[in-house]
Structure formats: structure tokens, C-alpha cells
């Protein structure tokens, strides 16, 4: 990893760490920021499989649900701290990913078929947990309400979760930069551009796709555990196909794998804020207006700018920078 890779991460972290203070810890805004960070971490993790490896994965909710149930069940039944439960949830999610992913890549499922198989896995798990009364079942299972204890990681406000997610986001960003610069990263890009050509060049396509999938599933499983802590209960609807779709939509609109990785949190920030604004102002008259917005933006971006918005940001950033430099040159 180079120093130039670290600079933007440090700047971003400092900015995001200050944000809750900028809104004076207002509960509503901190909650909003927490969800923005939650989706940012998911999309940034998704970049490994969806961006670098170019597989349109819609199983994010499977991994979130498995991570949530693993952490939550260990916590409520055996009093195991989330510090252990969260990574274990990541492992369970990665195990499930391997179970589904190995044959999926082995039999060469690609493109739409991969997307369909992965979104089906979400529904399968949701229904199985609904029927599996010992662990899941149709009723909510609440996590212990022991607020403020570090052992239980349960807090009354959202700010602590915001900072936990910020730490996770930084780790996932670093992970992405590291993978991108590694041999695995170059292999994955080659696979995304042309799988047959990559295979002919001697890249073990299946192995590297599976590796990307496992990394992504592990991280997403961990985020699922944190999600359960924030929501405070377990329910089969944590296996939510809409979450999967939302993550993929943000990834595609953000141009996952095309430009800079920072385009993904930036896109999440913009789209989630607009959709929340729509929901809070017009949602009373038009329920689902914020979700309509997701559909519109995805369709429009894919039809007009199929490579996503990352390049647009870069051009914008370049223009702003040039304007600032010009002003400084003119002033001095």
C-alpha cells in the first residue's frame, strides 16, 4: 500500500468522524448518517465481487441475515459477546457463500443466472428461518437490553454505532485498496473484462472468483451482526431481497470497479440523502416515493451512463479543483 492511497482515507475518516458533531448529535441526523454508513460499508464490500470480479451478486441479504442470526443467537442463548459473535457471523456467512458459490462457479453460472441464483438464496434462507422455530420463527427475538456495557455492545443512541460502522468502513476501504493493488486484484479485473481470455492466460478463474466472494461474504456477515445490534432484534425479514437490490443498485450507479472506490460511499451518501428527503417530505402522501427514486435513478443511469457515475464525480472534482487553483493564482 502506498502513502498516496492512505491520504484520501485519512481525509475521509476525519470528515466523517466530525459529521455527527456538525449536526450537534441530533438523534435524527445521526440515525440518518448511521444508515448511510451502513449502506456505504455494504456497497464498498460488494465492490470486491460486483466491481472487481464483475459478478452481479444479489445475496447480500443472505450474508447479513446469517451474520445477524449467528451473533444474536450466540448472544441471547450463550451470552457470547458480539466481539466474538460478529466475526463468527462473518465466518458462517462465508461458509454459506462457499456452499452456494463453489458449485455456482464450478458449473459456470454467469450474469443473469448468477444474479437469479443469489437472489433466490435470500428467499430460501428467509423461508427456512421462518420455519426453523428453534433459532428463527415468525416472532421477533429481542437482544438483551443491557445498554452501555461494552461486553454487549448495546447503546441507547446511534452515535456509538455510527463510529463502529465508520471503523468498519475504513477497514473495508483499506481492504479494497489492498486487493486492487494485489495480484488477486489484477486477476479479478482480467476476469471481469473477459473471462475466457483470463482463463486462457492461465488464471484460475474459479479460484479467484470464489476468493472474492468469500471476502465479500465475510465482511457482509460481520456488518449483518452490527445491523442486528442496531435494530435490536432478530427476525427472518432481515433476509430482505430489497437490501440486496439496494446494495447492487448503489454499486452499479456508483460505478463499482470502474473508477475510484470513493465513488461508492459518495453515491450512497447522495442517493440515500435524497431518498430520505423524499420520504420525509412527500412520503406521507406518496408511500414508497423514495423507492421509486431508486428505480428511476438506476434505469436512467444504466440507459444514459452504463459505466456509472464515478467518472462524473472525477470530472466535477477536477473542475472544482481547477477553479480553486485559478482563484488562488488570481488572488496571489
Partner 1 sequence: MLELLLQNLVNGILMGCVYALVALGLALQFGVMDIINFAHGEFVMIAMYLVFWISLYLAIPGSLTSLIVAPIYFVFGLVIYKLVIDRIVGTYPLAQIAATIGLMVLLRNLALAAWRAQPRGLQYEVLRGSVTLGPVVVPISRLTAALVSVGTMLALRWFLTHTRLGLALRATSDDMQAASLLGINVRRMFALAFGLGCAIIGIAAAFIMTFQQVNPESGLTWGLISWIIVVMAGLGGVSGVLLSGLILGMVEALEITFWDPRASLAVMYSLFILILWVKPRGLFGRR
What's the CA gap between 244 and 265, in Å, rounded? 16
Does residue 194 belong to the site contacting partner 1 (CB under 8 A)? no
Between 111 and 130, how does the x/- string for binding to partner 1 read (CB under 8 A)? xxx-xxx-xxx-xxxxxx-x
Stretch that binds partner 1, among 66-74, 75-83, 143-151, 287-295 (CB under 8 A): 287-295
Question: Do residues 140 and 76 touch, judged by C-beta distance below 8 A?
Answer: no
Question: Pick from 243, 251, 257: which is nearest to 298 by CA?
Answer: 251
Between 297 and 326, how does the x/- string for binding to partner 1 read (CB under 8 A)? xxxx-xx--x--------------------
Q: Which is nearer to partner 1, 300 or 325 (CB)?
A: 300
**Quick check: helix, strand or coil at residue 302?**
helix
Q: Which is nearer to partner 1, 15 or 300 (CB)?
A: 300
| 113-136 per-residue burial string, b: 16 or more CB within 10 A, e: under 16 | ebbebbbebbeebbeebeeeeeeb
Does residue 6 belong to the site contacting partner 1 (CB under 8 A)? no
**Quick check: helix, strand or coil at residue 92?**
helix
**Quick check: helix, strand or coil at residue 174?**
helix
Least Å distance, CB 270 to partner 1, is 17
Question: Pick from 110, 264, 302, 260: which is nearest to 192 by CA?
Answer: 110
Least Å distance, CB 212 to partner 1, is 16
Question: Pick from 183, 331, 161, 170: which is nearest to 262 by CA?
Answer: 170
Question: Pick from 160, 161, 162, 169: which is nearest to 46 by CA?
Answer: 169
Stretch that binds partner 1, among 70-78, 178-186, 285-293, 317-325 (CB under 8 A): 285-293
Does residue 11 belong to the site contacting partner 1 (CB under 8 A)? no
Residue from 54, 185, 225, 254 in contact with partner 1 (CB under 8 A): 54
Q: Which is nearer to partner 1, 231 or 241 (CB)?
A: 241
Interface with partner 1 in residues 76-105 (CB under 8 A): 100, 103-104
What phi and psi, each to the nearest 5 degrees, are found at residue 156? Answer: -75, -40
- What residues line the site for partner 1 (CB under 8 A)? 54, 56, 100, 103-104, 106-113, 115-117, 119-121, 123-128, 130-131, 241, 245, 248-249, 252, 286-289, 291-292, 294-300, 302-303, 306
Amino acid at each position: 500500500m502506498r502513502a498516496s492511497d492512505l491520504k484520501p482515507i485519512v481525509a475521509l475518516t476525519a470528515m466523517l468522524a466530525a459529521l455527527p458533531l456538525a449536526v450537534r448529535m441530533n438523534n435524527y441526523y445521526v440515525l440518518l448518517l448511521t444508515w448511510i454508513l451502513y449502506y456505504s460499508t455494504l456497497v464498498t464490500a460488494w465492490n470486491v465481487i460486483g466491481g472487481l470480479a464483475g459478478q452481479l451478486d444479489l445475496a447480500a441479504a443472505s450474508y447479513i441475515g446469517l451474520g445477524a442470526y449467528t451473533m444474536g443467537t450466540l448472544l441471547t442463548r450463550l451470552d457470547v459477546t458480539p466481539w466474538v459473535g460478529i466475526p463468527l457471523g462473518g465466518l458462517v456467512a462465508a461458509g454459506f457463500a462457499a456452499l452456494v458459490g463453489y458449485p455456482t462457479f464450478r458449473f459456470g453460472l454467469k450474469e443473469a443466472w448468477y444474479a437469479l441464483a443469489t437472489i433466490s438464496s435470500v428467499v430460501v434462507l428467509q423461508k427456512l428461518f421462518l420455519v426453523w422455530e428453534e433459532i428463527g420463527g415468525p416472532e421477533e427475538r429481542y437482544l438483551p437490553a443491557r445498554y452501555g456495557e461494552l461486553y454487549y455492545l448495546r447503546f441507547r443512541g446511534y452515535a456509538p454505532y455510527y463510529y463502529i460502522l465508520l471503523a468498519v468502513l475504513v477497514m473495508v476501504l483499506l481492504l479494497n485498496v489492498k486487493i486492487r493493488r494485489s495480484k488477486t486484484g489484477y486477476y479479478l479485473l482480467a476476469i471481469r473484462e473477459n473471462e475466457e481470455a483470463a482463463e486462457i492466460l492461465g488464471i484460475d478463474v474459479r479460484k479467484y472468483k470464489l476468493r472474492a466472494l468469500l471476502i465479500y461474504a465475510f465482511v457482509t456477515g460481520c456488518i449483518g451482526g452490527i445491523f442486528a445490534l442496531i435494530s435490536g432484534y432478530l427476525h427472518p425479514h432481515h433476509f430482505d431481497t430489497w437490501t440486496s437490490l439496494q446494495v447492487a443498485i448503489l454499486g452499479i450507479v456508483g460505478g463499482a470497479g470502474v473508477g475510484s472506490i470513493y465513488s461508492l460511499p459518495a453515491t450512497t451518501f447522495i442517493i440515500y440523502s435524497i431518498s430520505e428527503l423524499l420520504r420525509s417530505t412527500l412520503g406521507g402522501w406518496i408511500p414508497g416515493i423514495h423507492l421509486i427514486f431508486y428505480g428511476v435513478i438506476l434505469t436512467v443511469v444504466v440507459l444514459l451512463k452504463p459505466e456509472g457515475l464515478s467518472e462524473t464525480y472525477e470530472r466535477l472534482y477536477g473542475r472544482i479543483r481547477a477553479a480553486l487553483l485559478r482563484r488562488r493564482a488570481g488572488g496571489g
